[in-house]
Amino acid sequence: MDIKQVGVVGCGQMGGGIAQVTAQAGYAVIVSEVNEELLSKGLAALNASLTKAVEREKITPQDKEAAISRIRGTTSMKDFGNCDLVIEAAIENLELKRKIFAELDSVCLEHAILATNTSCLSIIEMAMTTKRPDKVLGLHFFNPPPIMKLLEVVRTVATSEETLETCRSFGQSLGKTVITAPDSPGFIVNRLMVPQVLNAIRMLEAGVATREDIDNGMVLGLNHPIGPLALADLVGLDTFYYIGNAMYDEFKEPQFAPPVLLEKMVAAGWLGRKTGKGFYDYKKN
């Protein structure tokens, strides 16, 4: 199947980034938000991201204008009616995602593929709210989507071979390296990475080392581009909390259980960069 028009549900950090890279690859994009205020905020952030890419000479001003011209914002799910592929990028809440998939199924054309950007939730549970479970799968982009080169294509037990191959080709057309993962909590990357971040939090909680020493140890000792605590701040502490809980519920392994410190920080609203405070303070920067 030829993908020409792509829909993105959500214009936050991930949804806006997905809309950007998709438009830059030449696709017509419709991106939605729940109200005009959030939509304007998301589109402004997307525009700022493209402006930064121009300033860094990653793209030309003409490239930016071409990408912007391909993006249309909306607050109505009905506007996804002519999309060949719709990627859901809402918050990590299974019931919300199930509701979105049921609504998309009712407005989208019969051939349309429905995808989720979830990091850990059960995709088959979203698929079964639709009449097209064979056309549902995960397209897990990494943060920030315009920079990160990996795309996990996540296949459920019901995903057809045609859907899988169409989305693998779509990912490659975005310039991504595509890997195929099973519909199991954490998929490939998060199943490896989340325990490492949670263990770093436990070390800090137990007073084994300072946040700086933990992060510097990973950056300078293992050549990681960013330390685990700084990474948690970048991705969002609430995201790690939700992913850890989902993985622990599935596997019952202590390595996936969120530490008490993480739970308390999330309760306090210290979610990392997006709130200005996490393991590090960003309000002064």
Active site positions, annotated: 119, 140, 152, 190
Sequence-ordered list of residues with C-beta below 8 angstroms from that of 92, at least 6 positions apart, any chain:
118, 119, 120, 121, 239, 242, 243, 246
Q: How many CB atoms lie within 10 A of CB 180?
A: 14
The contacts of residue 103 (CB under 8 Å, 6+ apart) are: 77
Distance from C-alpha of 170 to C-alpha of 241, rounded to nearest angstrom: 31
- What ranges in 70-115 are assigned the alpha helix state H? 94-107
Q: Is the peptide bond before 145 cis (omega within 30 degrees of 0)?
A: no
Dihedral (Cα; 161, 120, 189, 52), 10-degree rounding:
100
Torsion of CA 77, 75, 116, 130, to 10 degrees: -20
d(CA 213, CA 230): 12
- Which residue type, as a one-letter code, is found at position 197? V
